[in-house]
Structure 1
């Protein structure tokens, strides 16, 4: 199956992507996702050069359906210096389990390289062994564990 990357989601695609977001962030509301996608859409991919400007990349299949999505931004890491920080990565395709994820990983590598990053740091919201194995096969290594304590608004 053929896939293509898109970095600009239409309002219809933003709503379609909500099903993917629910896999990674089931607590997110549709309004919250729309707001995030709108703010992420303000940064063109080349602007991932600027630290903290969020960007989105989605994978469309041949029929135009979204089968993968990631959000990322340039950040500074103690261990690696400038990195491409990926805080959402989800890829689904029941016929070709690697196509969407492979294309997203390739896009992230190209984006990180163009932005002068020395590494890509990917945070996964769930322990998807298949996806982790795929990342390892692409040269990624497990470097730690991310813990998060949500704080109440002040």
Structure 2
């Protein structure tokens, strides 16, 4: 049985999370990652409206992370928007993802959110990964919307 710990990402550990980010999102540069993380963190850790949670293994290696933000929603009221849920653990990635899902529920409650909206990436037109969708659905999540993206030229 593996032992994992979950904790908010702090500014001094942003660089330690980059190998996980890079392995899952090859197009993300170190500068892009630090800018993204910096927007969600302050000197003490997460900002009051959002942050990044990490999961580390027994050796302190970050094997999971997720970014989240609280926001107002017309229908739900306050919601927790979840993006970039990454779980990279060869022996127990479902355990890592389950720990993240549980921690997100606690964060949503702490922020007074009435719902959690999770954005999962699509790969080659298909929903991926199926195991993560099944894990979230088993915890009470359901498909509530569809998100579309149009990339624009940098300007």
User: SS state of the match for residue 93, structure 2?
Assistant: coil
1:121 maps to 2:122: no
Alpha-carbon displacement from aligned partner over 1:50-103 (angstroms, at most 9, x marks no partner): xxxx41100011110111000010012233111000121011221223221111
Q: What residue in structure 2 maps to residue 51 of structure 1?
A: none
Instruction: Give the one of 44, 65, 71 matched to 1:69.
Output: 65
TM-score for the superposition, normalised by structure 2: 0.85
Number of matched pairs: 148
User: SS state of the match for residue 27, structure 2?
Assistant: coil
Q: What residue in structure 2 maps to residue 91 of structure 1?
A: 87
Q: What residue in structure 2 maps to residue 56 of structure 1?
A: 52
Task: Kindly report the root-mean-square deviation, in angstroms, between the aligned alpha carbons of the 2 structures.
Answer: 2.0
Which ranges of structure 1 fall in alignment gaps of 5 or more residues? Answer: 49-53
Q: What residue in structure 2 maps to residue 6 of structure 1?
A: 7
Q: What residue in structure 1 maps to residue 138 of structure 2?
A: 137
Which ranges of structure 2 fall in alignment gaps of 5 or more residues? Answer: 123-127
Q: Name the CA shift for 1:20/1:29 in 2 (closer, same or farther; >3 Å).
A: same
Aligned-pair CA distance for 1:8: 2.9
Q: Name the CA shift for 1:74/1:62 in 2 (closer, same or farther; >3 Å).
A: same
Larger RCO of the pair (alpha carbons < 8 Å, separation 6+) = 1
TM-score for the superposition, normalised by structure 1: 0.85
